[in-house]
Amino acid sequence: MSAHLSTLESLFDLALFAKRRGGKAPDIKIYNARFKRIVSPKAVQTTVKITGSSKTAAKSRAHMAYVVRGAYRGEDENGNIIETQKEARELGGEWELHHGKDHWNKTINITLSMPHGTDKKSVLEAARAWAKVELANHRYLMVLHQEKPSAEREFPNPHVHFVVKAQGKDFKFLSRSPDDLHRWRERFAYEMRMRGVEEAEATPRKSRGLFGKADKSAVHRYAKQEPNKSWVLHSRKDHKPSAQEIEEQREIRNAYAGLAQVYRQAGHTEVADQAIRFLASMPELPKEKGVDKGRTR
């Protein structure tokens, strides 16, 4: 099973188990909560992004001051409140960012966000709890943002900016591989559920029937206002899936269909119906004519 399906392996194993046993449905109680969230039309996908980095102490401090602009207030890993841009710059000064080689990233910028309408206090508390686990070995500044509705952002979403000192207290650098990023999403979704957002999920794009990477936030936002603007058209992702990716999608979709059957046989018809609707909502698979036969990047 592919690495990007790691969080769904147990569910897919369940479908394979049922197939090996001649379709006999095993006890699925332990899988119910996760599977129900994944296929629910109310599922809320958490977002965790690395939005940039700084290779110099000056740029790091400038970005720290930027996220604490205006009325925004931040806090460090110890809960100390950072009220002004001057205090933010001073915090960066305490981190001794001038040490190390010039090509090293001094700070990493991470954003955790939830869709418009999510309680911002819950987002902040979840982000704080997330950082206590995932950034336990690092110094950081975190700031909750939620802009007012505007022409550019009609439905602004609550999000928390993190500026993280890349080198940890043990002198190791923050690991940020795809597996790390997905674990971060899983942890953030868990923390949101612990604060009442029960539909919070972290399902990988491929496991939702999507190909390639999502458009960047700015592209997605401006595409609604000026869809024919040249830079928007050039920036949008036009991913041509490879034959391997299409085969992978068939595997994923067959697994969902198998799981729907397992749930139906176990008497969970409502969940089974939701799974079928979820499957039907996935984008149609491309025909072979438009397929990139090269290797997946």
The three-state DSSP-derived secondary structure of the chain is: CCHHHHHHHHHHHHHHHHHHCCCCCCCCHHHHHHHHHHHCCCCEECEEEEEEEECCHHHHHHHHHHHCCCCCCEEECCCCEECCHHHHHHHHHHCCCCCCCCCCCCEEEEEEECCCCCCHHHHHHHHHHHHHHHCCCCCEEEEEECCCCCCCCCCCCCEEEEEEECECCCCCECCCCHHHHHHHHHHHHHHHHCCCCCCEECCCCHHHCCCCCCCCHHHHHHHHHCCCCHHHHHHCCCCCCEHHHHHHHHHHHHHHHHHHHHHHHCCCHHHHHHHHHHHHHCCCCCCHHHCECCCCC
Q: What is the pLDDT of residue 85?
A: 96
- At residue 210, the pLDDT reads 83
Mean pLDDT value across residues 83-111: 85
Letter for the amino acid at 162?
F
Asked whether 89 and 64 are in contact (CB, 8 A), the reply is yes
Q: What is the mean pLDDT of the chain?
A: 80
Strand 140-145 versus strand 159-165 pairing type:
antiparallel
Q: Which of 45-59, 123-137, 209-223, 273-287 has the highest mean pLDDT?
A: 123-137
pLDDT of 1 above 50:
no
Query: Does position 4 have pLDDT exceeding 90, yes or no?
Result: no
Is the model more confident about 289 or about 84? 84
pLDDT at residue 295, rounded to an integer: 39
Would you say 141 and 91 are in contact if contact means Cβ atoms under 8 Å apart? yes
Instruction: Quote the CA–CA distance of 89 and 47 in Å, as a whole number.
Output: 27
Mean pLDDT of all residues in 89-112: 83
The token duo for 22 is 């001649």
> pLDDT-based confidence at 275, cuts 50/70/90?
very high
The CATH number assigned to the domain with range 45-193 reads 3.30.930.30
Given a cut of 50, whether residue 231 has pLDDT beyond it is no
Judged on CB neighbours under 10 Å (0-12, 13-18, 19+), 56 is middle
Confidence at 8, pLDDT banded by 50, 70, 90: very low
Contact 82/141 with Cβ under 8 angstroms?
A: yes
Residue 240 has pLDDT above 90, yes or no: no
The pLDDT of residue 193: 96
- Burial tier of 123 (Cβ tally within 10 Å: 0-12, 13-18, 19+): buried
Predicted pLDDT of residue 150: 58
Selected residue with higher pLDDT from 39 and 110: 110
Q: Does residue 204 surpass a pLDDT of 70?
A: yes
Compute CA distances 148 → 84, 113, 116, 120, 153, whole Å.
Answer: 21, 16, 11, 13, 8
Domain ranges of the chain: 3-43+218-290, 45-193
Residue carrying the six token digits 């909502």: 281
Q: Is the predicted pLDDT of residue 293 greater than 90, yes or no?
A: no
Q: What is the pLDDT of residues 147-196, one digit of tens each?
A: 776 555 666 899 999 999 999 999 899 999 999 999 999 999 999 999 99
Q: How confident is the model at residue 223 (pLDDT cuts 50, 70, 90)?
A: very low
Tell me, what's the pLDDT at 147?
74
The pLDDT, as a whole number, for residue 239 is 63
| Model confidence, pTM | 0.79
Percent share of the chain, pLDDT over 90: 48
